[in-house]
Structure 1
Amino acid sequence: MNIRIGQGFDVHAFGDGDHLMLGGVRVPHSRGIVAHSDGDVVIHALCDAMLGALALGDIGQHFPPGDARWQGADSRAFLRHCTGLVSERGWRVGNADITVVCERPKVAPHAPAMREVLASDLGVALDALSIKATTSERLGFTGRGEGIAAMAVCLLVRA
């Protein structure tokens, strides 16, 4: 096969702070994220999708949360690592589609900047990357404003 597809999911609780990192972009918010790294759910879900397409496990296997090296780490380093793994194995990202699930913050105003950051790190054109958001209609932990989640799907094609 000359294509592979992977899917990823990540979730983090809100905690103290005044911003979130989403897709490599600092997004002002009344809360921060509880996480070992910077807690960027967009990048974490995308990394899991890429690793899944390669059958290489998940982000926690490559960057264990108990490892002090990753305390407060910029998740873009994770993405660049995963992009390297894709390339080393003879693949490239064909496209990726990411959905953020939260009531707040509003994601749409920041999506263009996220797309630019991620497209740059992935080495793809902007039209190969989609970022969208939805609420959970005030249901569950995201609906109660307790946290944020992201889902990603990534198509790899032979380089």
Structure 2
Amino acid sequence: MNRIDFVSATLPARKRIALVAHDHCKERLLAWAERQKSKLEPHELLATGTTGLLLERRLKLPVECMISGPLGGDQQIGARIAERRIDMLVFFWDPFEPQPHDPDVKALLRVAAVWNIPLAANESSADYLLSSPLLDQAHTLSIPNYASYLADRQTADH
């Protein structure tokens, strides 16, 4: 297996924040977002289908909605992370209830870890993320050097 090198990248001051919640966690996410509305408002918000519609209604803020999580919305969020079009993920998931789309959930968490974006899995960690002084400023982080990885693979294939 090829070794992955890392390069520096910069998260913008205005973050693109994905908000995702399993069905049993939606109300908790909505209440949390309402409480944190002033911190979320300057940023671009994205969410999976139902969660996004509920957030728009509750917060009266624009939310770009993907399709519903079980129909591929988690994968859409993951793709955006890999394309560096999402900077943070707040994902209130239910650790007690198996989901029919558990493989998609695991893939989403994995891609967030691979691309080294800030990830909150519950209300406490989400509060910590939003209280960080880095929230409203540009921030440098390490990400996989995908161009180098592809070049190495092409060399190895020949």
Same fold (TM over 0.5): no
**Structure richer in strand, relative to its length:** 1
**Structure richer in helix, relative to its length:** 2
| TM-score under structure 1 length normalisation | 0.30
